[in-house]
Structure 1
Amino acid sequence: MIVIPSLLGGGAERVAVDLATYWQRKGYEVTLLTQSDSGTDVYHLPSTICRICTHQLGQTGIVAQIKKVWAIRRAIKQYRPDLVIGMMTSSSVMSILASIGLSVKVIATEHAHPPSQQLSSFWQKLRKMTYPRAAKVLALTKMSADWIHQHIPHTSVAVIPNAVRFPLHNQPPYIPVQKPDQTKLLLAVGRLHTEKGFDVLLNAFAQIADANNQWRLVILGEGGQRQALEDQIQQLGLENKVSLPGRVGNLKDWYEQADMFVLSSRYEGLSNSLQEAMASGLCVVSFDCDTGPREVIREGIDGVLVRPVSDSKALAESLNQLMRDENLRYYYASNAPEVIHRFSAQEIGEKWDDLFSTLLGCQ
Structure 2
Amino acid sequence: MKITLLIGSLAGGGAERVVCNLANYLADIGHEITILTVSDKQTYKINDNVRHVVLYGESNSKLPHQIINIIRLYRMNRYFRKENVDIYLTFLPKLTSFILAQRRFIKCPIILAERADPGTFCAASEKNQKIFEKYYPHADGYIFQTEDAREYYRTHGINVENSVVIPNAINPEFIRPQYQGKPRNAIVGAGRLTEQKNFSLLINAFAEVSKTYPEYELEIYGEGPLKNDLINEAKVLGIAEKVKFQGYVKNLGDRIQDATLFVLSSNFEGMPNALIEAMALGMPVISTDCPAGGSKFLIKNKKNGLLVPTNDINAMVDAISYILKNSKKAKEMAQLAYNVGDELQFDKVYDKWNEFIFAVCKGEKN
**How high is the TM-score relative to the length of structure 2?**
0.88
* 1:16 counterpart = 2:19: yes
* 1:91 counterpart = 2:86: no
Q: Deviations over 1:198-221 (max 9, x none)?
A: 111111111110311221110111
Residue of structure 2 equivalent to 1:160? 166
Going from structure 1 to structure 2, the CA distance change for 1:192 and 1:160 (only over 3 Å counts) comes to: same
Matches within 5 A, 1:66-81: 68-81=72-85
Shift of 1:47: 2.5
Deviant stretches of 4+, over 6 Å: 56-61, 63-66
Distance 1:245 1:149 in 2: 41
Matches within 5 A, 1:212-361: 212-290=213-291, 291-306=293-308, 308-361=309-362
Distance 1:109 1:297 in 2: 23
- Runs (5+) with no aligned partner, structure 1: 170-180
CA contact (8 A) 1:5 1:57 kept: no
Residue of structure 2 equivalent to 1:113? 117
What is the letter of the counterpart of residue 33 of structure 1? Answer: L
Q: Alignment RMSD, CA only?
A: 2.3
What is the letter of the counterpart of residue 172 of structure 2? Answer: F
Residue of structure 2 equivalent to 1:142? 147
| DSSP 3-state at the match of 1:124 | helix
Going from structure 1 to structure 2, the CA distance change for 1:55 and 1:352 (only over 3 Å counts) comes to: same
Shift of 1:70: 4.3
Distance 2:196 2:106 in 1: 38
Q: Deviations over 1:227-286 (max 9, x none)?
A: 111111011110221111211112021122322100111111110000000011111011
| DSSP 3-state at the match of 1:74 | helix
What is the letter of the counterpart of residue 23 of structure 1? Answer: L
What is the letter of the counterpart of residue 237 of structure 1? Answer: G
| DSSP 3-state at the match of 2:47 | coil
- Runs (5+) with no aligned partner, structure 2: 176-181
Shift of 1:183: 4.3
Distance 1:66 1:296 in 2: 42
Residue of structure 1 equivalent to 2:179? none
Shift of 1:316: 0.6
Going from structure 1 to structure 2, the CA distance change for 1:140 and 1:57 (only over 3 Å counts) comes to: farther
Moved more, 19-28 or 151-160: 151-160
What is the letter of the counterpart of residue 168 of structure 2? Answer: N
Moved more, 277-286 or 68-77: 68-77
Distance 1:80 1:121 in 2: 36
CA contact (8 A) 2:81 2:105 kept: no
Residue of structure 1 equivalent to 2:178? none
* 1:186 counterpart = 2:187: yes
| DSSP 3-state at the match of 2:172 | coil
2:32 to 26, 29, 34: 29
2:106 to 102, 108, 130: 102
Distance 1:182 1:44 in 2: 31
CA contact (8 A) 2:184 2:258 kept: no
Q: Deviations over 1:73-100 (max 9, x none)?
A: 3223433111111111111222223342
2:5 to 2, 6, 13: 2
Q: Percent identity?
A: 28
Distance 2:198 2:354 in 1: 36
Going from structure 1 to structure 2, the CA distance change for 1:27 and 1:182 (only over 3 Å counts) comes to: closer
Shift of 1:330: 0.8
Shift of 1:152: 4.0
Residue of structure 2 equivalent to 1:132? 137
Distance 1:124 1:3 in 2: 21
Residue of structure 2 equivalent to 1:197? 198
| DSSP 3-state at the match of 2:257 | helix
Going from structure 1 to structure 2, the CA distance change for 1:122 and 1:241 (only over 3 Å counts) comes to: same
What is the letter of the counterpart of residue 115 of structure 1? Answer: G
CA contact (8 A) 2:103 2:138 kept: no
Higher relative contact order (CA 8 A, sep 6+): 2
Shift of 1:68: 4.2
Distance 2:58 2:21 in 1: 22
Shift of 1:49: 1.0
Distance 1:267 1:104 in 2: 33
Going from structure 1 to structure 2, the CA distance change for 1:200 and 1:102 (only over 3 Å counts) comes to: closer
CA contact (8 A) 1:189 1:219 kept: yes
